Amino acid sequence: KATFDADGRALTLPDENFARELMQLFTIGLYRLNLDGSPVYDGHGQLIPTYSQTDIEELARVMTGWDLRYNTQYGGLKGSFIHPMESTEAFHDSGEKTVLGQRIVAGLSPEEDLDAALDILFNHSNVAPFISKQLIQRLVTSNPVPAYVRRVASVFEDNGAGVRGDLKAVIRAILTDDEARDISRARENGYGKVEEPLLQHTAWLRAFDVQPIDGWTYCWGKNCDTQNTDNVSDTYLFYLTPKEEALSQSAYRAPHVFNFYDPNFVPQDAYFQDADPQHVLPEFQIKSANNVAGLFEISQVMVSITELNRARYQHGSMRTYTGAHSWGGWDMQVAAVDYGGALRALEIGMEGDSNEDYSSINDTDVGADGLTPRARGVHALVDYLEKLLLGNAVPALPRAALIDYLDGEYRTLDLPVNAAKLTSTAVQYVLLSPQYAELK
- The pTM of this model reads 0.82
Q: What's the confidence (pLDDT) of residue 378? A: 95
Given this model, what pLDDT does residue 243 score? 66
- pLDDT, residue 73, reads 80
Through-space distance between the first and last CA atoms of the chain, rounded to whole angstroms: 51
The pLDDT assigned to 245 comes to: 78
Whole-number pLDDT of residue 143: 94
CA–CA separation, 5 and 393 (whole Å): 72
Spatial contact of 347 and 419, defined as CB atoms under 8 Å apart: yes
Give the total residue count for the chain: 440
CA distance 118 to 121: 5
CB-CB neighbours of 342 under 10 Å: 26
- pLDDT tens across the length of the chain (440 residues): 556 667 766 667 888 999 999 999 999 999 999 999 999 999 999 999 999 999 999 999 999 999 899 888 877 778 888 889 999 888 899 999 999 999 999 999 999 999 999 999 999 999 999 999 999 999 999 999 999 999 999 999 999 999 999 999 999 999 999 999 998 888 888 889 999 998 998 899 899 998 877 666 666 555 555 555 666 667 666 655 556 778 888 888 888 888 999 999 999 989 889 988 889 999 999 988 888 888 888 887 767 667 889 888 888 887 777 766 555 444 445 678 899 999 999 999 999 999 999 999 999 899 999 999 999 999 999 999 999 998 766 677 788 888 999 988 788 778 998 999 999 999 999 998 888 998 88
Residue 248: its pLDDT value, please?
A: 85
In this prediction, residue 77 carries a pLDDT of: 78
Neighbours of 270 (CB within 10 A): 8
What does the pLDDT read at residue 329? 43
pLDDT at 212: 78
